[in-house]
Chain A
């Protein structure tokens, strides 16, 4: 009976015995070197195939991601380029702003608002500037305007976000100034942009290179603002007054930033002037 069963199922029995033996060897650890020796090349091959699969057969998913990354980087690049341009522009203005800040710090008894020059009067007969601050920033008509070099002019009209500045070189501008060796005079502009000291008393001592500063008389400008230097004096014995040409302290052709003195209130002398009789 047993012999018949063995004859009939000997392959199964041998297979079971082999399986049991292999299982025993695996569990007891004797089969580990063999498994390692067999599995290492298999794993290598598997790794190679998997790598090629992801790099060659499935590029589309990564490409999409790369395209997105590329777009993002391009966008960042454009933004940074714009930022660089903006910073370069700001860097150009930095020295002028630094000078204005220095002025504002050294004369801390006044309060200032910095403004950018945004245009000039289109008429060549007038010397006016437009600045980018107006009544919203607290600017009012009559406020003096300076630069880091000296007096530039005063505000003559204001809108919400801009103001118009009459320069001291304008033909109808008149600034009361004082001379270093005593005496007062009136500084007037001209159509060419030159400025001249008028009404200097004959007895006043004026010489080239004298510093001209505002006197504060008349109440239109605060005192002690630098206006310029005398470059030439004209004195005629028959004339009532001397006159002098002045080199302005401010380079009006290159003016870009200005400081508006906001705590100065000009005096309106109109009510004190005698009425004209018809």
Chain B
């Protein structure tokens, strides 16, 4: 229960940074997605058992705030968490590599999903501009955030799920 409740203040703080601070430091036209990076780092932790709940909470928060169709952030984050959980079981011995890999792939997947849905709904995007000016710069910013966020989340996971000692 506690790890799930902990998601609310942490993700709320991240959402505030996401809506206030990060849009003011764009790279070309792309923003970093701090919540996505947090979810990736959290889902990659071996001890974490509530990654899906965190994902749902983050998706619901993002859906409440953003003008995107509500199902899009939730679906995007669920996909990212799914990738992270799959990767965790395979290359968990190299967590930093996994963090960078999943952040890269997850950023691309979630942004392309949003772009595809908005495009199908009739928003007149220029796809090449979206790729060059939004998706790739945003992914790069996410990769820049990946290392510090990973370090913080590792400490948080150790605090929330202390190591069990056999007596």
Using a CB–CB cutoff of 8 Å, the interface residues on chain A facing chain B are 118-126, 128, 130, 156-157, 164, 166, 171-172, 188, 190-193, 253
Partner of A171, one of B15, B66, B124: B124
Sort chain B's interface into a size bin: 20 to 34
Partner of A123, one of B15, B16, B68: B68
Q: CA A190 – CA B132 in complex, angstroms?
A: 14
| B126→A120 contact, CB < 8 A | no
8 Å CB interface, B2-25 against A: 15-16, 18-20, 22-24
The 30 listed contacts between A and B (C-beta, < 8 Å) are: A119-B19, A119-B65, A120-B20, A120-B23, A122-B18, A122-B22, A124-B26, A124-B138, A125-B111, A125-B123, A125-B125, A125-B130, A125-B134, A126-B66, A126-B67, A157-B67, A164-B67, A171-B123, A171-B125, A172-B122, A172-B123, A190-B129, A191-B129, A191-B130, A191-B133, A191-B134, A192-B28, A192-B129, A193-B29, A253-B24
| A123→B30 contact, CB < 8 A | no
- Which B residues lie within 8 Å of A121 (CB)? 19, 23, 65-68
| B31→A190 contact, CB < 8 A | no
Given A122-B19, A122-B33, A188 and B134 touching (CB < 8 A)? no
Q: CA A156 – CA B68 in complex, angstroms?
A: 12
| B31→A124 contact, CB < 8 A | yes
Using a CB–CB cutoff of 8 Å, the interface residues on chain B facing chain A are 15-16, 18-20, 22-24, 26, 28-31, 33, 35, 62, 65-68, 111, 114-115, 118, 122-126, 129-130, 133-134, 138
Partner of B114, one of A118, A120, A123, A156: A123
| A191→B125 contact, CB < 8 A | yes
- Which B residues lie within 8 Å of A128 (CB)? 66-67
Smallest CB gap from B32: residue in A: A124
Instruction: Given A121-B65, A125-B114, output 19 extra A-B contacts at Cβ < 8 Å.
Output: A119-B20, A119-B65, A121-B23, A122-B19, A122-B23, A122-B31, A122-B33, A122-B65, A124-B29, A124-B30, A124-B31, A124-B134, A124-B138, A125-B134, A126-B66, A128-B66, A130-B19, A172-B124, A191-B125
Counting from the closest, the 9 A-B pairs by CB-CB distance are A119-B19, A120-B23, A124-B31, A122-B18, A192-B29, A128-B67, A124-B134, A172-B123, A119-B20
- Which B residues lie within 8 Å of A164 (CB)? 67
| B133→A192 contact, CB < 8 A | yes
Q: CA A188 – CA B124 in complex, angstroms?
A: 10
Smallest CB gap from B35: residue in A: A122
- Which A residues lie within 8 Å of B123 (CB)? 125, 171-172
